[in-house]
Amino acid sequence: MTNNIVWHAHPVTRHEREQVNGHGSAVLWLTGLSGSGKSTVAGALEQALHQQGVHTYLLDGDNVRHGLCQDLGFSDADRRENIRRVGEVAGLMMDAGLLVITAFISPHRQDRQDVAARLSAGHFIEVYVDTPIAVCEQRDPKGLYKKARKGEIKQFTGIDLPYEAPLNPDIHLDGQKPLDQLVKQLICELKNREIIG
Amino acid sequence: MTNNIVWHAHPVTRHEREQVNGHGSAVLWLTGLSGSGKSTVAGALEQALHQQGVHTYLLDGDNVRHGLCQDLGFSDADRRENIRRVGEVAGLMMDAGLLVITAFISPHRQDRQDVAARLSAGHFIEVYVDTPIAVCEQRDPKGLYKKARKGEIKQFTGIDLPYEAPLNPDIHLDGQKPLDQLVKQLICELKNREIIG
């Protein structure tokens, strides 16, 4: 600040933050149809990780659509911008040392690849929550499929718009398995990758 | 996931994250002219806090302008949108339990008030890095004042555009004091607010 002060500042690195936290940082990107179970799995996983002292954060429509992305609608361009911003925020949070979990349909393969490309290699973990659309439609937790079938909602993924399933996801979840099994599978995968101990 | 599984999921709360971290979360919003010392103070503070085991993150032009806000230019509307997004990300990171430090000129009083209004009361801490423009211009670490005076940069805060100084900042820093004193002052303020121990 003044000429006679020399401050050997260096930015705090992600690696240093990981050391304080005692675990690695990553982005666990859940993709799947509406009703596939993304948010449920993400919430249960976060709860389990938190109980183990892991520093996590869950990004989903609830905390993004009403804030950071409140200026965006549901056109294709806006949905892509939504995913882009979520990817950028997830990257910043990962840089902050967090294990970030995201739960968005994110139907476009290219959009997911673009997010992956922005992050350090091996830190974007694509998780495909694979649930047949018939099962999703039967669950229909928010009544959205019903509205889409009636034409009250246009451009609904799986009905009017395609969902591009991951061709080679890092983790494949059978969305019809019990929740506790899915959480165990994810925790096992995180341990195998030495992200958590 | 299946009808016979009942998972008593509850979202992990900010309070629970703070308990794991051992300190509170907040947004320390540094505002001031270009060259006032915002980034230097922010970087030194983060380094000092990290050494004390505090979970921090520093948002500044470097990590936001090339990513989350790469679609924005430097028009007044775009600058305001830049600040809005930074505020939203800071809010999410605070929700994740972090002590967030931001370093942006953020010249508009209204924009800063809008960010404050989006966060829980008492968690937005406005820090005015108060350095006379003559001193900033003499420092001119990036040569921006020189370019602005030559007319090579238009709409430069303090030259062509007004800087609306905080009327009643939560913390007032005399940007001409030595860096170590400013860091000590901020740490003292964070202790007084019981954000850190």
B1 to A68: CB separation less than 8 angstroms, yes or no: no
CA separation for the pair B173, B111 (Å, rounded): 20
Task: Give the pLDDT band of residue B7 (cuts 50, 70, 90).
Answer: very low
Domain that holds residue B155: 16-192
Which one of the listed residues A34, A36, A106, A120 is annotated catalytic? A106
pLDDT tens across B26-76, in order? 999 999 999 999 999 999 999 999 999 999 999 998 889 889 999 998 888
**Hey, which residues does B130 pair with through a beta bridge?**
B174
Report chain B's mean pLDDT, rounded to a whole number.
92
Cβ-Cβ pairs closer than 8 A, A with B, add up to: 129
β-sheet with B56-60: strand ranges across:
B56-60, B99-103, B26-31, B124-130, B171-174
Would you say residue A172 lies in a domain? yes
A106 is an active site residue: yes
How many domains in chain B?
1
What confidence score (pLDDT) does residue A61 get?
Answer: 87
Taking Cα atoms as reference points, which of B1, B7, B3, B8 lies closest to residue A176? B1
Measure the CA–CA gap between A57 and A65, rounded to whole angstroms.
16
Please report whether residue B10 resides in a domain.
no
CA angle B67, B94, A63 (to 5 degrees): 70
- Are A9 and B43 in contact (CB < 8 Å)? yes
Test B7 with A118 for CB contact under 8 angstroms: no
**Is A146 part of a structural domain of the chain?**
yes
| CATH code, A147 | 3.40.50.300
Give, in order, the Cα–Cα distances in Å from A84 to each of A90, A111, B57: 10, 7, 21
- Taking the C-alpha atoms of residue B24 and residue B196, their distance in angstroms, rounded to an integer, is 6
Residue B122 identity: G
Does A54 reside within a domain? yes
* B9-23, B135-149, B164-178: range with lowest mean pLDDT: B9-23
Chain-chain contact of A50 with B17 (C-beta, under 8 angstroms): yes
Q: Which positions in chain B touch A21 (Cβ < 8 Å)?
A: 55
How large is the ipTM?
0.92
* Nearest alpha carbon to residue B41 among B28, B53, B52, B54: B28
- How would you classify the pairing of strands A26-31 and A99-103? parallel
Strand order in the sheet with A124-130: A56-60, A99-103, A26-31, A124-130, A171-174
The predicted pLDDT at position B121 comes to: 76
* Chain B residues with CB-CB distance to A67 below 8 A: 88, 91-92, 118
User: Which segments of chain A does DSSP mark as H helices, in order?
Assistant: 14-21, 38-51, 61-64, 76-95, 109-118, 133-139, 144-150, 179-192
pLDDT digits (tens, 9 = 90+) for A60-87: 988 898 899 999 988 889 999 999 999 9
- Which residues, including other chains, have CB under 8 Å from residue B75's CB and lie 6 or more apart? none
Flag whether B5 is in a domain. no
- Give the whole-angstrom CA distance, residue A185 versus residue A167: 20
For tokens 């409140």, the residue is A70
Residue A13 belongs to a domain: no
- B11 within some domain: no
> What is the per-residue pLDDT across B135-164, written as a single tens digit (0 to 9) for each?
999 999 889 999 999 999 988 999 999 999
pLDDT classification of B9: cutoffs 50, 70, 90: low
pLDDT digits (tens, 9 = 90+) for A95-114: 999 999 999 999 999 999 99
Please check whether residue A89 touches B, CB under 8 A.
yes
Do A33 and A158 contact (CB within 8 A), yes or no? yes
Quick one: which of A45, A70, A69 has its CA closest to A57? Answer: A45
Residue A120 is predicted with a pLDDT of 79
State yes or no: pLDDT of B4 exceeds 50: no
Disruptive mutation site among B1, B10, B51, B81 for chain A (greatest number of A CBs within 10 Å): B1
Q: How many other C-beta atoms lie within 10 A of the C-beta of residue A190? A: 22
Instruction: Check residue A11 and give its pLDDT.
Output: 85
Say if B23 is an interface residue toward chain A (CB within 8 Å). Answer: no
DSSP state of A142: T
Of B87, B83, B92, B86, which is closest to residue B25 (Cα–Cα)? B92
Reported pTM: 0.93
| A6 falls within a domain | no
What residues 134-163 of chain B have any CB closer than 8 A to a CB of chain A? Answer: none
pLDDT tier for residue A9 given thresholds of 50, 70 and 90: low
φ/ψ of residue B128, rounded to 5: -95, 115
pLDDT, tens only, A107-162:
999 999 999 999 977 899 999 999 999 999 999 988 999 999 999 998 899 999 99
* Cβ–Cβ below 8 Å for B11 and A98: no
* A185, A171 contact by CB (below 8 A): yes
Mean of the pLDDT values across residues A6-11? 58
Q: Do A47 and B177 touch (CB under 8 A)?
A: no
